[in-house]
Chain A
Amino acid sequence: MSTWLLLTITGLGLGAMYFLIASGLSLIYGLMGVLNFAHGAFITVGSYGTWWFSTHVFDGVGSVLWRFLLSALLGLVCGAIFAALVELVLIRPLYSRHIEQVLVTVGLQLAFVALITGIWGPDAKTFAVPPWLHETTDIFGAHIPNDRWVEIATSGAVLGLLQLFLRKTRYGLIIRAGVENRAMVQALGIDVRKAFTLVFAIGGIAAAIAGVLSGVYFNTVAPEQGTSLLIFAFIVVVIGGLGSIGGSALAAVVVALTQQYANYYASSGVGDMVVVLLLGIVLLARPRGFAGAVVGARA
């Protein structure tokens, strides 16, 4: 029972990170038809930004908690600016050339990881977090690391805020309408391009949060970390249905829990295989995913 509980909460913590990455990917694909490989770079900007601010700028300033929060906040700002710049500089000139847009993000992802490795080396880095995060709380005999709660709560808050934004604001309305039928939105005289930059910035923030949390979850940040999270986030997006935030949240939980359980109860690695098979099955049986836009045209 206590093992099961630990696996479940840890799985939810992992799922929280998958969701944070997948939500941005899903919105970007839904609205613009771009499969954004550069999302891995956004994760890295968040994690390395936080690490850089907390060790180079705020070293020894104030309490550990404030230093961490302030660095993380600046990390998120970096993530948002970087993502918006990527959209403006690289994606926009290639408007309506989907394959080139995908390829540019692939190139950016590869070059960015190489650049980070070149500047700060391939070794993992650590940044100071409040010690409370690495203590455990006992629930029904299970020792749950406290950072799991933070991951789940943050991700839940992001889900709530995103839904509020999408349902209650004018820009949210444009984005939702654009995901459904972009041509119609443009025909109504709305400049959908501003929404493109906006979804990139939102996706950049969410991915940067995932980057910060992955630094807490794994205790370290490393150049390749974003890439490995990205692959599972892709799987989550496709299973959840491209363009659907709710679908991504559900799929993130399903994928992370499946991975945790199978890796523990069967053997290490089985969970990853099962998730991959799950993706194959979902795509072939139901190319639209749990919800949302069509993935493959003539499926």
Chain B
Amino acid sequence: MNRRLVNDWLWPLVAFGLLAFVPKLGFSIPKLFDQPIDSPGTLALLAACLLYGGLALTYDIQFGFTGLLSFGHALYIALGVYLANIAITDWHWSFWPAIFFTVGVSFALANVLGFVSLRVSGIAFAMVTLAFAQAGAVLALKDPHHWTHGEEGLGADYTKLPQSLVGIVNTKNLYWLALAFCAAVFFIVRWAVGSSPGRVWQAIRENEARVEVLGLRPRAYKLQSFVLSSTLAAIGGIVYMLLYSGSTLVVTAPNFTLTLLLMVVIGGAGSRWGAVLGGILYTYLNDRLIAIGSSSTVEGLPHALRTPLEQPLFLLGVIFILIVVFLPGGLAGLVVRGRATGLQRIESAVGRAEVDAA
């Protein structure tokens, strides 16, 4: 059988297929999880891991595969988180119309804002996307129409949601939903980067000037990548809203995009497995380090050592810096050796812009 077919489609299918049986596992893994695998607490954590794995991969479409450094990806996730919830809870729409409306709006907004922001490249693109995301964050905080409820957040009206996704007893369904999202993003990305436009994205990342010389217009291709990435992010946002049964301002903060960047770089930019594993690992550690930080072993440590350990973001930030400095290919770079991986390849996309500017 074709090796590419096996590596890119069959093994992932087997892996995601096996993950689908996780809610059926009745035993517990003492050190890794507090509760048995099939308990709602553990399943909710695993669902969050898979959701972030998928979200990190949506970010990697533009960052790792096309070389676009955006600081505003959170805007589209937040759009999914908030708009679907607003349509259901504030406007009393039923579930499916709200979902389709949200996806449609996200697609349209990604086209408009992408078209505008892609007029500039490199760091300027990063700043424009940051600015748009900041505008969205201010809008959600100030809440001029009383839709988002500002800092209080907006709890979803659970009577309008599909009943199979509501309540602690249905955590396993939410797990499957997150798994389906992660798998769908994975296969869509595999298909997209293998298609002929996807090859142009990667060519833009490697050398945009050469793509232009070939008679292609990089901007149109960059817009495709941006829109795919943003629309999938909004769908991930809807899953987020269902998983956390509501919307809060966390998803609008600039830091939210930065954490996605951390996940992608830790796992390995421009690698599908890398981004997904980075998202899973980051989310898992972020949750578990708090538990370790308050555990009895750490309790015995002197104050100066203990306090930093209680802040997962401190440890994750340090891990991230070490990976950037010593392992630019991320965890995926450990496996793939002998060619430029991860950040080194994106460097030519963002770094070249600086050279041209000089």
Contacts and interface: CB of A to CB of B under 8 A. Distances in A.
A231 B133 CA distance: 11
Nearest to A224: B255
Interface in A82-129: 90, 93-94, 96-100, 102-104, 106-108, 110-115, 117-119
B325 interface: yes
Contact of B127 (A104, A110, A112, A283): A283
A299 B262 contact: no
Contact of B314 (A90, A111, A227): A111
A102, A181, A183, A276 — which one has the most chain B CB atoms within 10 A of its CB? A276
A299 B120 contact: yes
Contacts of B125: 296
A108 B317 contact: yes
Main secondary structure of the interface of A (DSSP, over half): helix
B128 interface: yes
Given A110-B262, A119-B308, A284-B120, A100 B343 contact: yes
B325 to A, nearest CB: 7
B325 A297 contact: no
Nearest to B133: A276
A187 to B, nearest CB: 12
Interface residues of B, number: 58
A106 B258 contact: yes
Contacts of A293: 357
B19 interface: no
A276 to B, nearest CB: 4
Main secondary structure of the interface of B (DSSP, over half): helix
B135 A298 contact: no
A49 B29 CA distance: 45
Contacts of B153: none
A35, A93, A106, A227 — which one has the most chain B CB atoms within 10 A of its CB? A106
Interface string B239-263: 0000000000000001100110110
Given A107-B320, A108-B321, A276-B131, A296 B310 contact: no
A294 interface: yes
A93 B119 CA distance: 32
Interface residues of A, number: 53
Contacts of A245: none
A273 B208 CA distance: 33
B132 interface: yes
B121 interface: yes
A255 to B, nearest CB: 12
B152 interface: no
A119 to B, nearest CB: 5
A295 B134 contact: no
A238 interface: yes
B313 interface: yes
A118, A234, A293, A296 — which one has the most chain B CB atoms within 10 A of its CB? A296
A231 B126 CA distance: 12
Contacts of B141: 269
B69 to A, nearest CB: 7
Contacts of B352: 297
B148 to A, nearest CB: 12
B354 interface: yes
Interface in B302-358: 307-314, 316-318, 320-321, 324-325, 328, 343, 346-347, 350-358
Given A103-B265, A283-B128, A284-B116, A268 B142 contact: yes
Contacts of B343: 97, 99-100, 103
Given A115-B314, A276-B135, A35 B120 contact: no
B308 A238 contact: no
B179 to A, nearest CB: 28
A283 B120 contact: yes
A103 B261 contact: yes
A273 B133 CA distance: 11
A79 interface: no
A45 to B, nearest CB: 16
A280 B136 CA distance: 14
Contacts of B309: 118
18 contacts: A93-B325, A97-B347, A98-B347, A100-B324, A103-B343, A110-B313, A111-B314, A118-B314, A119-B308, A235-B127, A267-B144, A277-B135, A283-B128, A284-B119, A287-B124, A295-B127, A296-B122, A297-B356
Interface of B: 69, 116, 119-128, 130-132, 134-135, 138-139, 141-142, 144, 208, 254-255, 258-259, 261-262, 265, 307-314, 316-318, 320-321, 324-325, 328, 343, 346-347, 350-358
Interface of A: 29, 33, 35, 90, 93-94, 96-100, 102-104, 106-108, 110-115, 117-119, 181-183, 227, 231, 234-235, 238, 267-269, 272-273, 276-277, 279-280, 283-284, 287, 293-299
